[in-house]
A and B are shown apart, each in its own frame.
Chain A
Amino acid sequence: MLPRRQNTRSRTYHAGRGKPLARRLLPLASFLVLCALWELIVYIGDYPAFFLPTPRDVWSRALVALGDGSLLMHTWVTLKEVFAGLAVGLSAAVILGYALAKAPAVERLVSPYLAASQAIPIVALAPLLVIWFGPGTLSKILVCALTLFFPVLINTIVGIRGVDAELVELLRSLRATQWQRFLYLELPASLPVLLGGLKIGVTLSVIGAVVSEFVSADRGLGFLVNLARGLFDTSLMFVALFTLMAIALVLYLSVSALERRVLRKQGRE
């Protein structure tokens, strides 16, 4: 019912390490070209700022939002939701995933419902969670957690199932306890897959946070996008969008770096 095993070892492109200066500057150059193109489009189309602001408009709006502290406040709110959701969703998914991997009978029983629950878009589910758990932080954490729950769950099941059966038998011959089997074999063996789950989880948690803030919120970057739309402050919308992008990117890259370090230490890379 679930995929057997997948290769989740990722290779992230190292942007210029020990490379010539010209190649190091390439990302910066492409960014500048992109901004110039953007400016050009606005200039040619002669679009009003509420339709498409120029990069310079966005930049100055960002400086204002930074200056009055509002951008940092909203970012901080969203970040808290992202991390809390990550903690809740990851622990739930890893614990349940481990249990399901160990009990195929239960998995057969539960997995149709789990799969069906995935058919409901989280956007549609979020209002219900707000009714049940109120418009506060709790419902937002739950939306984040739910968004990342399923992919991480699947990932965990695949990881635990992928543990070498021969090594399981070795531990049996050495009379290891259940707990030792988990600690000495299952955990280290599925570490690459679990880290892969964390990587999926961080990006999904950001999406969950924005979705929940769209439904009902009075702060956060998702709220800021909504607010800016209402005010026709399109520059501010772009500021919020770019901040979200930066958050997702930084989180993703940090987990990638952690993954590389762990795997290299284990000699798996």
Chain B
Amino acid sequence: MSREPILRAEGLQVVFQSEESRLEALQEASFSILPNEFVCIIGPSGCGKSTLLRVLGGLVAPTRGRVHLDGRPLTGPEARIGFVFQQHNLMPWRTALENVCLPLELQGVARTVAKDRAREMLALVGLAKFANALPRELSGGMRQRVALARELVYDPDVLLLDEPFGALDALTREQMDWELLRIWSARQKTVVMVTHDIQEAIYLSDRVLTMSPGPGRIAGDVAIDLARPRKVDDLYSPRFAELTRLLRGSLH
């Protein structure tokens, strides 16, 4: 069964050029991502993984190369692609519900419709009771859930996540990973997530792309052949340890 890739990166190169300096953030990246695939991009800090994700999201234009979304070249941010940032990026003056409504408001969806859908999404991420809370009244994990709901609300086909749980404590992060898997399997989305945590990457993904720094390039492409749905016990299986070793090896 061969499927057409939903996202295809073709010889991506990103150079940040200013008057005084030239920084090659991304040297070469080519890969494809299939519909409904869960792919993690992993690498040490400064390897250009965030830059790569921003290129996939149309937020940074590549210096060379091109991204195709369903065969069409990407020219900028797309409604079919949702981007979850490292920081929750919630507007402090809007309640959780109003923050989730934002994308729909920008699209001109009627306010009552937007509110209903936003409520549904807040329920999906387990925050139905906190609809009227302001971001500062929520914990770090809750804020990231609101941010996730905000991207889910307009139902993009592709979700790009830039270390969304990186700032959370280990326990909260584990819980968020669970939620993410649950939402991913319920909503059938293509997910590309940047992380620097090997275990998180294995636990979540169908495939892991590893990157090496200076300048950044794709170093490895590892299929994660653990059965789904994943269970906590998977973390202690021999295959998990093997994959961890393999990925660690390809990072150095």
Interface residues of A (CB under 8 A from B): 164, 166-167, 169-176, 180, 184-185, 188-189, 191, 266-268
User: Which A residue sits closest to B108, measured CB to CB?
Assistant: A180
Interface of A is mostly: helix
> Does B105 make an interface contact (CB < 8 A)?
yes
* Alpha-carbon distance between A188 and B91 when the two chains are bound, in angstroms: 9
Q: Mark B59-95, 1 if CB is under 8 A from A, else 0.
A: 1000000000000000011110001010101011100
Q: Which one of A164, A171, A267 has the greatest number of beta carbons of chain B within 10 Å? A: A267
- Assuming the contacts A175-B79, A176-B106, A267-B136, asked whether A170 and B92 have C-beta atoms less than 8 A apart, the reply is no
* Alpha-carbon distance between A176 and B58 when the two chains are bound, in angstroms: 14
* Alpha-carbon distance between A267 and B134 when the two chains are bound, in angstroms: 7
Residue numbers in A under 8 Å from B79 (CB-CB): 175
A166 near B91 (CB under 8 angstroms)?
Answer: no
- Assuming the contacts A169-B59, A169-B85, asked whether A267 and B77 have C-beta atoms less than 8 A apart, the reply is no
A188 near B89 (CB under 8 angstroms)?
Answer: no
Shortest B20–chain A CB gap in Å is 18
B89 near A167 (CB under 8 angstroms)?
Answer: yes
* A-B residue pair count with CB separations less than 8 angstroms: 50
- Assuming the contacts A266-B93, A267-B93, asked whether A170 and B85 have C-beta atoms less than 8 A apart, the reply is yes
User: Which B residue sits closest to A185, measured CB to CB?
Assistant: B91
- Residue pairs across A and B with Cβ atoms less than 8 A apart, 16 shown, are A166-B85, A167-B91, A169-B59, A169-B89, A170-B89, A171-B106, A172-B59, A172-B77, A174-B103, A175-B76, A189-B91, A191-B93, A266-B93, A267-B92, A267-B134, A268-B92
- Interface range on chain B: under 10, 10 to 19, 20 to 34, or 35 or more? 20 to 34
- List CB contacts (< 8 Å) of B38-76 with chain A: 57-59, 76
Shortest A183–chain B CB gap in Å is 10
> Does B102 make an interface contact (CB < 8 A)?
yes
- List CB contacts (< 8 Å) of B93-124 with chain A: 93, 102-103, 105-106
- List CB contacts (< 8 Å) of B6-63 with chain A: 57-59
Shortest A241–chain B CB gap in Å is 41
Task: Give which listed residue, B78, B87, B89, B105, contacts A184 with CB less than 8 A.
Answer: B105
A174 near B77 (CB under 8 angstroms)?
Answer: yes
Shortest A124–chain B CB gap in Å is 42
Q: Which one of A173, A180, A266, A267 has the greatest number of beta carbons of chain B within 10 Å? A: A173
User: Which B residue sits closest to A191, measured CB to CB?
Assistant: B93
User: Which B residue sits closest to A171, measured CB to CB?
Assistant: B106
